Amino acid sequence: MSTVPLAPGGASGIPGFLPTHVVPPDGLATWTAPDGAVPTAPLDPLLPVRLVERRGDWGQVLCSNGWAAWTDARLLVVLPQGPPAAGGPLVRTDDARKLLTGVHETLGQYRRAMEDLAAGRTDAETFGRTTRGLRIGAVVDGDALWLYDAERDLWCYCDGTAMAALASPAGPGGDH
């Protein structure tokens, strides 16, 4: 990856870098400015980045090594809000196993509907009706787990022993 440095000495890394997005699996083209005039090397697939500025569809992303570039921000994959601040214990809320059971059941419903569609036992309209309203979200990263609680419309973070509510889409806005 060859991107434009945001600040001198950026290659040394950024202490406490927290990504907000991930580059899609196919990577992303980059430019030196939000004008498409001077392309640079693409961002690597699944690279964690921080969106630092947004101008329409353009987004300036910062990489953990301090390098930055402009890209099509619409294609970035938003990460769930990070875990609660390090050092403090999680405030125990509901047991994560209930949400995990819901993820399993919802995914099973979707899979059955998809298999019926693929086997010709149902049509696209019935598939749409069968899957309407299904909504889950889960990110597993080693011992960290983010689960979407569709009933409360928020993300929760679990460290294996405790779970804390994090962010609601209805909360404070901002560009993704």
Residues 6+ apart with CB under 8 A from 46: 22, 23, 24, 25
Strands of 2-137, DSSP E = 4-5, 21-22, 28-31, 39-43, 48-55, 58-63, 67-72, 77-78
Point out which residues pair with 68 in neighbouring strands: 4, 62
CATH of domain 4-78: 2.30.30.40
Whether the full predicted model's pTM is greater than 0.85, yes or no, is no
Instruction: Dump pLDDT digits (tens) for 69-116.
Output: 999 999 998 876 555 544 445 555 567 888 899 999 999 999 999 999
Q: Where are the domains of the chain?
A: 4-78, 96-167
Cα–chain center distance at 132: 22
Contact 18, 63 (CB under 8 A): no
Model pLDDT, residue 13? 56
Token reading at 10:
């950026």
| Integer Cα distance of 147 and 166 in angstroms | 10
Token reading at 39:
């392309």
Instruction: Dump pLDDT digits (tens) for 28-53.
Output: 999 999 999 999 989 988 788 899 99
- Lowest pLDDT segment from 36-50, 77-91, 135-149, 162-176: 162-176
Model pLDDT, residue 172? 34
